[in-house]
Structure 1
Amino acid sequence: MSLWSSINRLVFKRTSTFALAVASGTFFFERTFDVISQSIFENINRGKLWKDIKHKYEE
C-alpha cells in the first residue's frame, strides 16, 4: 500500500479525523512560527530590549 493510500485511509476518510488533523497541524504550525519569529526579533534587537538593559535601571 502506498503512502498516499495510508494517509487517505487514516486521515481524510472521516471528517472528524480530518478536522482533528487540521486543528493539530494549525496548532503546531502556529507555535513553531511564534517561537521562530520571537527568536528572530530578539536576535535583531539584542541589546535594546528591556531584559538586556534592565540591570542599568534597577537598584
Structure 2
Amino acid sequence: MAGLTSAIYSTFIHRNAVYLSTIFLGAFAFEIGYDVASNKIWDAMNRGRQWKDIKARYMQAEEEDDE
C-alpha cells in the first residue's frame, strides 16, 4: 500500500504543474462524459418528440404542398 501511495505521489502530486494539469484534464474529461451521458438519457426519454425525430414527416408534407 505504501508503494502505491508513493508511486501516485511521485507521479501526480510531487510537481505542482503536473498536479494542476491532472485536475484540469480530469475535470474536462468528466464534463465531456457527463454531457454525453445526459444527452443520451434526454434523447432516450424524449424519443419521437424531438425535431430531429419528426423532421422528415414535416419536410415531406411541405414538399407535397408546394407541388
TM-score range, shorter chain: over 0.9
Query: Greater helix percent: which structure?
Result: 2
Counterparts of residues 1-59 of structure 1 (less than 5 Å): 2-58=3-59, 59=63
- TM-score (ref. length: structure 1): 0.93
Identity %: 37
Q: Which structure 1 residue ranges, 4+ long, deviate > 3 Å from structure 2?
A: none
Q: Please, which runs of 5 or more residues in structure 1 have no aligned partner? A: none
Residue aligned with 1:46, SS: coil
Displacement after TM superposition at 1:21 (Å): 0.1
The Cα RMSD (Å) is: 1.1
Larger Cα Rg: Structure 1 or Structure 2? Answer: 2
- TM-score (ref. length: structure 2): 0.82
